[in-house]
């Protein structure tokens, strides 16, 4: 199945470069381009892309505001946002995840890393596997108040022991394949457990599931580096 990608970047040269790269892949195609946040939200409603490749700094409506708008639209529930930016600071990563982004990638990534990121996000799995990103997510989750990142009251108790185990491993940054190996189950079974946990906790995607894991105390953040 072809992954349909919508580009959002205020630089025409960057959009042209990304279009050339993405259209060179047999399993991807660019369905539209936007130069600001408002335009990307409008085009997302028109094209219903699988992935939005979102820059942060754009004139008018910025990428983070546009990400939040896409995440709140019920008709765009299958559209995933992959933030691609030169700003890889802790603050921006935290804000992007809080807005509902499923992935965060620097513009210094290689072409292969970009393709892998698009495929990963399109499959419904955010980019949470690297140690650096995991540290940023952990910091974000521990400094937010419960009002900013609420834990569904009482629902964690409805998870099975296996669902809690899989959820905890996902929160630690493990991929489905890694979780499958650790638990001696198949990747498909891992995906099923994650989907059931998401449904029971009423969260939209895996990033929000990870947030609940930390905010509920199911997973403890690592001690700060000395």
Over residues 202-218, the pLDDT tens digits come to: 887 777 787 788 778 78
CA distance 54 to 7: 7
Task: Report residue 34's pLDDT band, with 50, 70 and 90 as the boundaries.
Answer: very high
Task: Report residue 139's pLDDT band, with 50, 70 and 90 as the boundaries.
Answer: low
Question: What CATH number was assigned to the domain covering residues 3-127?
Answer: 3.40.50.2300
Pick from 16-25, 45-54, 107-116: least confident? 107-116
Domains 3-127 and 151-215 share a fold: no
Pick from 77-86, 110-119, 177-186, 217-226: least confident? 217-226
Q: Return the CATH architecture of domain 151-215.
A: Orthogonal Bundle (1.10)
pLDDT of the residue at 125: 76
* Average per-residue pLDDT for the chain: 84
Q: Which residues contact 180 (CB under 8 A, 6 or more apart)?
A: 186, 187, 189, 190
Secondary element (H or E) of residue 52: strand 51-54
Domain boundaries along the sequence of the chain: 3-127, 151-215
């Amino acid at each position: 199945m072809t992954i349909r990608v919508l580009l959002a970047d205020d630089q025409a040269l960057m959009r042209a470069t990304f279009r050339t790269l993405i259209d060179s892949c047999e399993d991807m195609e660019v369905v539209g381009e936007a130069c600001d946040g408002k335009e990307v939200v409008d085009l997302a409603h028109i094209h219903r892309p699988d992935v939005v490749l979102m820059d942060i700094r754009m004139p008018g409506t910025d990428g983070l505001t546009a990400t939040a708008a896409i995440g709140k639209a019920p008709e765009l529930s299958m559209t995933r946002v992959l933030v691609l930016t030169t700003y890889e600071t802790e603050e921006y990563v935290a804000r992007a995840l809080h807005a509902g982004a499923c992935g965060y990638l620097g513009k210094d990534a290689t072409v292969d890393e970009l393709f892998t990121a698009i495929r990963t996000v399109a499959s419904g799995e955010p980019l949470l596997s690297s140690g650096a990103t995991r540290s940023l997510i952990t910091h974000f989750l521990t400094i937010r108040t419960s009002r900013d990142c609420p834990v569904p009251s009482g629902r964690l108790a409805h998870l099975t022991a296996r669902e809690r185990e899989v959820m905890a491993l996902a929160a630690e940054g493990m991929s489905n394949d890694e979780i499958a190996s650790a638990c001696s189950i198949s990747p498909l079974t891992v995906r099923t457990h994650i989907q059931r946990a998401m449904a029971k906790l009423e969260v939209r995607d895996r990033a929000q599931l990870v947030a609940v894991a930390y905010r509920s105390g199911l997973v403890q953040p690592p001690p700060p580096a000395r």
